Amino acid sequence: MRILYSTVLYLLIPLALLHLFFSGLKNRAYWSGWSERFGFKTFSFIKKPVIWIHAVSVGEVQAIISLVNQIHSLYPQYHLHVTTITPTGAELVRQKLDQSITHSYLPYDLPGVVKRFLQQLKPRIAIIMETELWPNLYANCENKGIQILLINVRISDKSFRRYKKLVFLLRQVLSDIALIASQTRQDRQRLIDLGANPDKVLITGNLKFDQPISKKIIQRAFSIRNKLRQYRRIWIAGSTHEGEEELIFRAHKQILKKHPSSLLIIVPRHPERFNKVMILCKRQELKYASVSDNQELSTENHVLIVDTMGELLVYYAVSDVAFVGGSLLPFGGHNVLEPAGLGIPVISGMHGQNFREINAMLLKNDAELRVRDEIELAEKVSLLFSDKKLRQKMGESGRQVVGQNKGSTDRILTLIAERL
């Protein structure tokens, strides 16, 4: 089965290269690191045994920052190497982690490519974030005695349906993994149904509950908010996708009718879309400024576009109300825990299935409001702007939900210690 899988991957290589090329037209970072994706990177400069950590993109990197920092502190005798798939994830690694922690792109899952990568890196242990299942990579790790820890694993409804069709291939992949740390009971059961050994699958919770909020973030947020003191109320739309921004701008125009001194902060999910969002804002006849302009906002500005990387948490902390994007349209939603942990009332659309359990917790504890469209979005933001007690109650409830579910990082660190 793995031979057939590898044959198909080899045939898809031209399409993968075309994808990198055309993605590079929007974000030139995609044009770098091609050799790394084929395993052509030397690690001869590394003189210590290696702990290898993989996180796909921005969300996964953000979630492992605390874990990586603690591993770095606890095990100075090891060299930490992080791989990502996307350039935005790579940029966040460079911004948020210690400079001694190295980075490269994860190579394509081709037999010769992953063999070359592992021979160069020689990791003692591989810590893979979330549901990354690579048959050739894991088989090569197994052959070389490299223990694989799959952490923070969740299996969405969509993924589970897809994986069930590949159960014969996945059963072998899962057998190559030393230990799987799943988020919930449901995730554990789904992994077992796909062929994982029940003795290897534990429940450790969700790392995203442990995302640290540093004093630097709070101080920077306070400084920004002080500069925006002319705005009586501020709401943020974080991690927005194509199609959503137009709806959000329409909602803000309605909000301005009731709260003319309010400001919308919008943070597009993908940096290559910053310019498009600015064009959309102009079309909606909303005056805007961008963070990269580094200019003071006047009361004539209705929108602040965050066109810089890695500052979403800061701008959540600046705001009175947070709408979490990817949920007004069917993109699956994004991390609602970031604003909730800051004590900011959360609004989400109806398409937050990627964070179903977390959304359910926040809804159950009256820390989140759901909206179907831009009309309801405008109504809920206006309601929260007008009701200080409701904002405070929702914010405190969200903070409590996050606090009560912390601890995944410590549980995973224990599992790592047992294997080192």
Which residue shows structure tokens 């899988």? 5
Distance CA(390)–CA(372), nearest Å, equals 20
Does residue 224 contact residue 310 with C-beta atoms inside 8 Å? no
Please state, as a whole number, how many other Cβ atoms lie within 10 Å of the Cβ of residue 230: 12
Q: What are phi and psi of 82, to 5 degrees?
A: -110, 135
Token pair, residue 332, equals 């699956």
Distance CA(93)–CA(99), nearest Å, equals 9
Q: Is 285 left (phi over 0), alpha (psi -120 to 50) or beta?
A: left
DSSP state of 266: E
What DSSP string runs through 90-136?
HHHHHHHS-TTSEEEEPPPS-HHHHHHHHHHH-EEEEEEESS---HH
C-alpha distances (whole Å) from 323 to each of 113, 265, 292, 377, 387 are 42, 10, 22, 8, 17
Distance CA(220)–CA(197), nearest Å, equals 47
Q: How many residues does the chain have?
A: 420
What DSSP string runs through 349-401?
-S--GGGHHHHHHHHHTT-EEE-SSHHHHHHHHHHHHH-HHHHHHHHHHHHHH
- Candidates 246, 311, 234; CA nearest to 277 is 246
Distance of CA 403 to the CA centre of its chain: 20
- Candidates 371, 367, 369, 370; CA nearest to 402 is 367
Please state, as a whole number, how many other Cβ atoms lie within 10 Å of the Cβ of residue 1: 12
Residues noted as catalytic: 60
- Candidates 229, 182, 171, 177; CA nearest to 207 is 182
What DSSP string runs through 214-234?
-HHHHHHHHHHHHHTTT-SEE
Does residue 51 contact residue 123 with C-beta atoms inside 8 Å? yes
Q: CA end-to-end span of the chain, whole Å? A: 33
Q: What are phi and psi of 286, to 5 degrees?
A: -110, 125
